[in-house]
């Protein structure tokens, strides 16, 4: 067999077989992933709950109708995550279907980035194990999926790729690799800006880890140079949207460091993986430090490439271990510092989602080292390989089987927790409104109805938002206006309440009012007619004379 093209080792049948097995395993895990997530997302008519907010932004980028009351400025938030949703809107023509496909794609994307980065750093065995662990063995991504935190899920994927790109850029020094790292860094920041501090904390700590091991500060300096332009661009973007993000930060729930730890400890399998990292850290550290090529653990994909880089730095097991450790400790240290800063209110619990990939990769490395250790007790070469593979399979099953059971069960519980009130009726109302487009006027009703009407149909809405703040400056005024309509329903159709309701209807051009289906809806009889009814909701169409007749100078009688 000729070896000139493929190096001294040649392209052996064993190498071909191992790559085929790797591809098959990745495909099997991906299909299992796709089946689990698709079944979960398509189990109900509505996409994950927060999709109602993202759809309004995506409609803007797709050139579709958006509620006139929405501020154009807010559409620029989370651009990297929202633009793909807008493209799906154009492809499918259905907001509900596009949002579901978007959520599923984001989940698959983020889990696959763990495989790609682990393959860049470690062996195929570790990469496949990490892919299985993060896909089927932990619940944090299912938590994001359950409430619709898709932009943050996308951001987790970009950070994962950024870690692998950082190591490759520091190893080769090649301009293309450095540009790739900088681009991934910027895209990740723009995918979910509220989580942006996690990026410098993670990548900075990883770069420092490489610098300490090499006893040189070059990795840190080069990393700072690479991220300078992306950081300046992002800061400029943040400044242009500061009125939005500052309001979001001011109204976000303040969480301390203990909440972050509680979120991590809520998943028993993830907690077990973390504890395994702590307990077995000396063994893993010793193995990585003393042996660069632990069979089945440290055999990164980069070692099989013929890089024409101007600088080829040795990628040691200790160096890669330091990167993964920094990946894990960086966000934790940032959260610990932020929780002690006076006057800072932010959601530190969101940091937990960025820790799932390094925990999964670290657990996969631990399994690999334990399997390698088991193989060393067998002197026969063939028997050692069998022992190592058997140990790896057994240990992997001990993680994946209970992890899969817990994470899928957790998703069902989280989905029920975030479930839309009267979901079947709301879905029918939204479909009914959508079928009557285009029409002029506003749809008024409860937030759990109107928010979906705006996202799915693009129709203007009037409701009382439960949040304490908003991206839109007029939201408090609109909430007070909707409360006037609620006063009519709750306190009776007195002349004063009817007059106030008519004034609001004219001011906001209310065409439809959605109210609960009970005896109180009859109090709107003097204003319009019921045109659609479900078990829980009715839609009242306001009489045109009420909407369009200007109030007399003395006010409505």
Mean pLDDT of the chain: 80
The pLDDT assigned to 249 comes to 57
- Give me the pLDDT at residue 316, please: 63
* Range 359-376 average pLDDT: 82
* DSSP-derived secondary structure letter, 525: T
pLDDT on residue 157: 96
Peptide bond into 438 cis (omega under 30): yes
Q: Which domains does the chain have, with CATH numbers?
A: 16-246+263-417 (no CATH), 423-548 (3.40.50)
Q: How confident is the model at residue 344 (pLDDT cuts 50, 70, 90)?
A: low
Statement: residue 3 has pLDDT above 80: no
d(CA 554, CA 557): 8
User: What digits encode the pLDDT tens for the residues 33-53?
Assistant: 899 899 888 988 888 888 888
pLDDT band of 132, cuts 50, 70, 90: very high
pLDDT score of 554:
40
User: 210 with 321: CB under 8 angstroms?
Assistant: no
Determine the Cα–Cα distance for residues 316 and 298; give it in Å rounded to an integer.
8
pLDDT of 303: 46
Burial class (CB in 10 A: 0-12, 13-18, 19+), 481: buried
Its pTM stands at 0.85
Which H, E and C letters describe 319-333, residue by residue? HHHHHHHHHHHHHHH
Q: Which residue has the higher pLDDT, 4 or 212?
A: 212
Give tens-digit pLDDT for 370-426. 887 777 777 666 766 777 777 778 877 877 777 777 777 777 777 776 777 778 899
| Per-residue pLDDT at 304 exceeds 50 | no
Burial grade of 209 (CB within 10 A; 0-12, 13-18, 19 or more): buried
Cα–Cα distance, 459 to 441 (Å, whole number)? 8
Please answer whether residues 494 and 107 qualify as being in contact, where contact means their C-beta atoms are separated by less than 8 angstroms: no
- Measured CA to CA in angstroms, residue 79 lies from 191, 234, 263, 399, 473 at distances of 6, 12, 27, 36, 21
What's the angle, vertex CA 506, arms to CA 499 and CA 453, rounded to 5?
Answer: 115
- The pLDDT confidence band at residue 553, using thresholds 50, 70 and 90, is very low
Q: Which range, 152-156, 378-382, 551-555, is most confident?
A: 152-156
pLDDT in tens, 194-243: 888 899 999 988 888 777 766 678 888 989 999 999 999 999 988 887 77
Tokens of 455: 């996202």
**CA atoms of 9 and 388, how far apart (whole Å):** 23
b/e burial code for range 242-265 (CB count within 10 A of at least 16 → b):
eebbebbeeebeebebebbeebbe
| Type and span of the H or E element at 542 | strand 537-542
pLDDT of residue 27: 94
Q: Which residue has the higher pLDDT, 419 or 136?
A: 136
Q: What whole-number percentage of the chain has pLDDT above 70?
A: 78
270, pLDDT greater than 90: no
pLDDT above 60 for 2: no
HEC states along 386-405? HHHHHHHHHHHHHHHHHHHH
Per-residue pLDDT at 81 exceeds 90: yes
Rounded to whole angstroms, the Cα distance separating 347 from 195 reads 9
- Residue of 112 and 285 predicted with greater confidence: 112
Residue listed under structure tokens 């109900």:
44
Q: Is residue 549 predicted with pLDDT exceeding 60?
A: no
pLDDT tens column, 455-514: 999 898 998 876 544 556 677 788 888 888 888 888 888 889 889 999 999 999 999 999
CA distance linking residue 171 with residue 154, whole number of Å:
26
Q: Where are the alpha helices (DSSP H) in 140-214?
A: 140-147, 150-172, 175-191, 198-214
Instruction: Tell whether the model's pLDDT for residue 313 goes beyond 80.
Output: no
Strand order of the β-sheet with 442-444 is 461-462, 442-444, 510-516, 537-542, 528-533
Distance CA 357, CA 324 (A): 10
pLDDT digits (tens, 9 = 90+) for 509-518: 999 999 988 8
Residue 100 CA to residue 428 CA, distance in Å, equals 18
Burial class (CB in 10 A: 0-12, 13-18, 19+), 287: buried
Q: What is the pLDDT of residue 59?
A: 92
Contact (CB, 8 A) for 549 and 520:
no
pLDDT range class, residue 117, cuts 50, 70, 90: very high
**How large is the average pLDDT for residues 74-82?**
82
Is residue 183 over pLDDT 80? yes
Q: What residues does 461 pair with on adjacent strands? A: 443
Residues 6+ apart with CB under 8 A from 49: 147, 148, 418, 419, 420
Please choose, from the candidates 35, 42, 39, 128, the residue with its C-alpha nearest in 3D space to the C-alpha of residue 363: 128
Q: What is the pLDDT of residue 490?
A: 86
13-27, 129-143, 426-440, range with the lowest pLDDT: 13-27
């Amino acid at each position: 067999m000729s070896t000139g093209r493929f190096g001294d080792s040649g392209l052996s049948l064993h190498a071909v077989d191992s790559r085929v097995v790797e591809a098959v395993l990745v495909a099997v895990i991906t299909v299992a992933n796709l089946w689990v997530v698709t079944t979960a997302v398509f189990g109900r008519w509505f996409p994950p709950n927060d999709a109602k907010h993202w759809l309004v932004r995506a409609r803007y980028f797709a050139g579709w109708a958006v509620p006139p009351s929405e501020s154009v400025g807010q559409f620029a938030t989370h651009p990297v995550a929202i633009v793909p949703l807008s493209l799906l809107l154009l492809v499918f023509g259905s907001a509900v279907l596009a949002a579901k496909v978007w959520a599923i794609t984001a989940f698959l994307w983020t889990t696959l980035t763990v495989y790609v980065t682990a393959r860049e750093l470690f062996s195929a065995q570790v990469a496949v194990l990490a892919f299985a662990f993060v896909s089927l063995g932990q619940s944090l991504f299912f938590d994001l999926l359950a409430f619709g935190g898709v932009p943050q899920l996308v951001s987790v994927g970009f950070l994962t790729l950024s870690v692998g790109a950082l190591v490759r850029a520091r190893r080769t020094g090649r301009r293309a690799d450095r540009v790739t790292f900088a681009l991934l860094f910027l895209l990740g920041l723009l995918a979910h800006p509220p989580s942006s501090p996690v990026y410098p904390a993670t990548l900075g700590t990883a770069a420092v880890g490489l610098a300490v091991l090499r006893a040189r500060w070059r990795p840190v300096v080069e990393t700072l140079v690479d991220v300078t332009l992306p950081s300046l661009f992002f800061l400029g973007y943040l400044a242009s949207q500061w009125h939005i993000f500052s309001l979001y930060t001011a109204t976000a729930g303040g969480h301390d460091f203990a909440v972050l730890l509680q979120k991590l400890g809520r998943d028993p399998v993830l907690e077990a993986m973390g504890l395994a990292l702590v307990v077995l850290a000396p063994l893993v550290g010793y193995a990585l430090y003393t042996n660069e090529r632990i069979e089945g653990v440290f055999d990164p994909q980069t070692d099989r490439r013929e890089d024409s880089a101007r600088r080829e730095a040795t990628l040691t097991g200790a160096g890669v271990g330091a990167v993964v450790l920094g990946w894990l400790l960086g966000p934790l240290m940032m959260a610990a510092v932020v929780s002690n800063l006076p006057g800072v209110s932010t959601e530190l619990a969101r940091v937990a989602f960025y820790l799932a990939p390094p925990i999964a990769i670290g657990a996969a490395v631990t399994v690999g080292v334990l399997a390698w250790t088991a193989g060393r007790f067998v002197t026969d070469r063939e028997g050692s390989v069998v022992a190592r593979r058997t140990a790896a399979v057994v240990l992997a099953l001990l993680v994946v089987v209970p992890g899969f059971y817990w994470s899928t069960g957790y998703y069902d519980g989280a989905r029920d927790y975030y479930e839309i009130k009267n979901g079947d009726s709301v879905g029918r109302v939204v479909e009914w409104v959508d079928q009557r487009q285009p029409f002029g006027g506003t749809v008024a009703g409860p937030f759990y109805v109107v928010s979906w009407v705006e996202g799915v149909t693009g129709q203007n809405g009037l409701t009382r938002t439960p949040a304490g703040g908003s991206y839109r400056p007029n939201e408090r005024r609109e909430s007070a206006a909707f409360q006037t309509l609620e006063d009519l329903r709750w306190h009776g159709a007195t002349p004063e309440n009817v007059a106030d309701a008519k004034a609001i209807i004219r001011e906001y051009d209310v065409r439809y009012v959605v109210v609960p289906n009970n005896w109180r809806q009859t109090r709107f009889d003097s204003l319009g007619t019921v045109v659609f009814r479900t078990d829980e909701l009715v839609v009242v169409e306001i009489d045109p004379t009420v909407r369009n007749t200007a109030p007399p100078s003395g006010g409505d009688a």
